[in-house]
Amino acid sequence: MKNLVVFSIVTIIFAASCNTKTTSKKHMNIVPPKADKVEKHLEKHGDVRVDNYYWLNDKDDDEVIDYLERENDYYEKMTAHTKDFQKDLFEEMKSRIKEDDESVPYKLNGYYYITRFEKGKDYPIYTRKKESLDAKEEILFNVNEMAEGYSYYNLSGMSISPDNKLISFGVDTLSRRKYIIHIKNLETGKVYEEKIPLTTGGSTWANDNKTLFYTRKDEQTLRADRIYKHVLGTNSKKDELVYTEKDETFGTFVYKTKSRKFLVIGSYSTLTSEYRILSADTPNEKFNLFQERERGLEYNISHFGKDFYILTNKDKAINFKLMKTSEVKTTKEHWEEVIPHRKDVLLEGIDIFKEYLVVNERNNGLNKIHIKPWDNSESHYLPFNTETYTAYTTQNPEFDTKTLRYSYTSLTTPSSLLDYNMETKEQVVLKETEVLGGKFDKNNYDSKRLWATAEDGTKVPLTMVYKRGIKMDGSNPLLLYAYGSYGSTIDPYFSSIRLSLLDRGFIYAIAHVRGGEYLGRNWYDDGKLLQKKNTFTDFIDVSKFLIEEKYTSKDHLYAYGGSAGGLLMGAIVNMAPELYNGVIAAVPFVDVVTTMLDDSIPLTTGEYDEWGNPNDKEYYDYIKSYSPYDNVEAKKYPNMLVTTGLHDSQVQYWEPAKWVAKLRELKKDKNSLLLHTNMDAGHGGASGRFEALKEVAIDYAFILDLEGIKD
């Protein structure tokens, strides 16, 4: 559900292959598990849905755990012949990754910060050096030591106090995104006894070096709904409640501006935002409202000098514009235009420096980085020479510098980190991600952008990468990936992991379907609410295009999507199952009606502006018409692998479990249908960098086996 984009495994993991094969003789005696049918009548708007597998939503029920374990056992037996191949794939992918790696240092408040990995270790080591890179290394955290004894461990939200002496950080050991905030003294190495439970993990310090602001979650829904103030050395149970977000469709967060002058409380929903500000020097005073919320008014704020800069859709600026206002007159009637709205350019973000404004734009689907001097001298864009790349600004915490740090990658080029001198236009490649093994050469691969025509005449872009020299005769296995929700854009990026598919003859393609923002805000609006089906039909039409143009065929086309992209997978196998030989649905959001009617489930109420509120009959009927679980029919389906996590807080495990049970009951084919539940992890999968590769190997082995590729 919300921030399903945020689903990094999806983007890291995929590119593929496959071939039409039904259950082989060696599997004939393996009987799939059968879930009990217990009728549950669900009525809304006079419509009654019968849900025979509703009972699977109680993970405290031993019978539910037993069913999931039987599904896992079935998966193990059905894939036993690929276990050695999975191990080989894992070692192959791991061998390309530089194990003893470290990040490019960035400077913040007098210290250089570096993240490094040691050979054979799964977790990072966070370090810093004072003033000079030649200074003695100070270890902030060795997460490998902290993670010992845990099957899942995630450290996030690190925040350094202004005097550099303290660090706050969040820890999640269940993959439920319920972080406990701790505070460490960086001079003594001591972690204080005070613990702050049930948070988002992030926090921010006031300028007094003792007051910490953080966001707490609702125990049941996990909605981030309250901002608290903690004073160092006190019991967190006595923390002062600073702000409560009462609207159940909103969440809230807190941060400090880059100028370090203001603390900011933000409230957000899909369509609306609101901010409150307070001087970071006076943490005990009251936050002031910046601009009260108005439904449909989106804005975010950055501070520079004596002004705030506002990125906003005010005045029907669909693709957003940039405005500014005095820090003492912040309501919208005082906002002045800096960069006007443009119909063909999406304004995605800004970076502010003492002498430059850097604007992140998107034009015709492509990232643009625009350098604009404050003195109104000539502006310019960074030059990029392909249509299958991603470029974005990264760590730029300092104001007084002419150096812009940005990242660049393409489907054929490993990710690079660069420093660009905004005055001289000179740039230095600080680091290009190494692909070990001695076999990778970017010149051995080709990439391109193509346009398919959707059923309503809309041109839908797709990007692809493949091994140079392959023949486009319809015989190539092709993995097609998409996400298509929340305005989240999946840009083309390089993956060394994906080489395990490309080098075996696969084409990997990304369909930039409506529901993302690849072609601007309208592209998102045309793929949500009562236009959501455009996401599904776009994917199907891209699939047909790839077959018609002989990049692949129905016998060799595979589809992959996760989370909200898993909903996409569920929809396409109901709507056009004949197009695909295999489909992988990772943590799929497939029981849309039931979930969106249950406001006790984490994050549901904040989703109404994305999917619609089914308490309204118009939205109920529309959602029901595409909800994958509600539309399973007695017909043939492709080979399918469905994955989930028992502790997933965003797409609950029972959605894919129920979906698979219903598919088993109704499908009229002998194709593989596998459910694999990670009994330890949640939405993002395993926490270690190499443990996550084992999950990729599971997915790859599934489609490679279907394609008849054994090594």
| Helix ranges, 105-202 (H) | 143-146
Q: What is the mean pLDDT of residues 473-485?
A: 97
| Neighbour count for residue 272 (Cβ, 10 Å) | 18
| Neighbour count for residue 81 (Cβ, 10 Å) | 14
Cβ atoms of residues 160 and 109 within 8 Å: yes
Q: What pLDDT digit, counting tens, does each position of 15-59 carry?
A: 333 333 334 455 668 999 999 999 999 999 999 999 999 999 998
Report residue 221's pLDDT band, with 50, 70 and 90 as the boundaries: confident
Residue 120 has a pLDDT of 87
- Candidate list 17, 269, 485, 563, residue with the active-site label: 563
Residue 16: both structure tokens together: 């593929």
Cβ atoms of residues 301 and 268 within 8 Å: no
Question: What gap in Å lies between CA 580 and CA 570, rounded to an integer?
Answer: 12
Sign, CA torsion 621/627/630/631: positive
Find how far residue 139's CA is from the centre of its chain. 29
Reference 291, options 320, 270, 311, 261; nearest CA is 311
Quick check: is 512 catalytic?
no
Question: What gap in Å lies between CA 326 and CA 233, rounded to an integer?
Answer: 37
Summary mean pLDDT of the chain: 93
Owner of token pair 């496959």: 18
Owner of token pair 């972690």: 191
Sign, CA torsion 74/78/81/86: negative
Q: What is the 3-state secondary structure (H, E, C) of 375-427?
A: CCCCCEECCCCCCCEEEEECCCCCCCCCEEEEEEEECCCCCEEEEEECCCCCE
How many residues in total does the chain contain?
711
Residue 685 has a pLDDT of 47
pLDDT above 60 (res 13) = no
Residue 369: both structure tokens together: 């980085």
What lies within 8 Å, CB to CB, of 62 at 6+ separation is none
Report residue 602's pLDDT band, with 50, 70 and 90 as the boundaries: low
pLDDT above 80 (res 4) = no
Reference 697, options 84, 210, 45; nearest CA is 84
Report residue 311's pLDDT band, with 50, 70 and 90 as the boundaries: very high
Maximal CA-CA distance, the chain:
76
Task: Compute φ and ψ for 455, nearest 5 degrees.
Answer: -65, -25
Residue 2 has a pLDDT of 35
| Neighbour count for residue 267 (Cβ, 10 Å) | 21
Cβ atoms of residues 254 and 200 within 8 Å: no
Q: Is 406 exposed, middle or buried (0-12, 13-18, 19+ CB in 10 A)?
A: buried
Find how far residue 601's CA is from the centre of its chain. 20
What lies within 8 Å, CB to CB, of 104 at 6+ separation is 417, 430, 431
Quick check: is 267 catalytic?
no
Residue 385: both structure tokens together: 């020479």
Single-letter amino acid code for the residue at 409: T
**Which range in 1-10, 430-439, 593-602 is most confidently predicted, on average pLDDT?**
430-439
Residue 303: both structure tokens together: 């501070």
Report residue 298's pLDDT band, with 50, 70 and 90 as the boundaries: very high
Helix (H) or strand (E) holding 532: none
Strand partners, 44: 47
Q: What pLDDT digit, counting tens, does each position of 141-176 carry?
A: 999 999 999 888 999 999 999 999 999 999 999 877
Residue 7 has a pLDDT of 33
Task: Compute φ and ψ for 460, nearest 5 degrees.
Answer: -110, 120
Residue 265: both structure tokens together: 């409380």
Owner of token pair 């689903």: 7
- Composition of the chain by helix, strand, coil, percent to 5: 20, 35, 45
Nearest-10 Cα torsion for 410, 413, 418, 420: -60
- Candidate list 351, 491, 648, 705, residue with the active-site label: 648
Reference 300, options 272, 261, 279; nearest CA is 272
pLDDT above 80 (res 209) = yes
What lies within 8 Å, CB to CB, of 31 at 6+ separation is none
Cβ atoms of residues 582 and 18 within 8 Å: yes
Question: What gap in Å lies between CA 223 and CA 526, rounded to an integer?
Answer: 27
- Candidate list 303, 341, 556, 683, residue with the active-site label: 683
Question: What gap in Å lies between CA 452 and CA 74, rounded to an integer?
Answer: 39
Report residue 643's pLDDT band, with 50, 70 and 90 as the boundaries: very high
Quick check: is 683 catalytic?
yes
Q: What is the mean pLDDT of residues 610-626?
A: 97
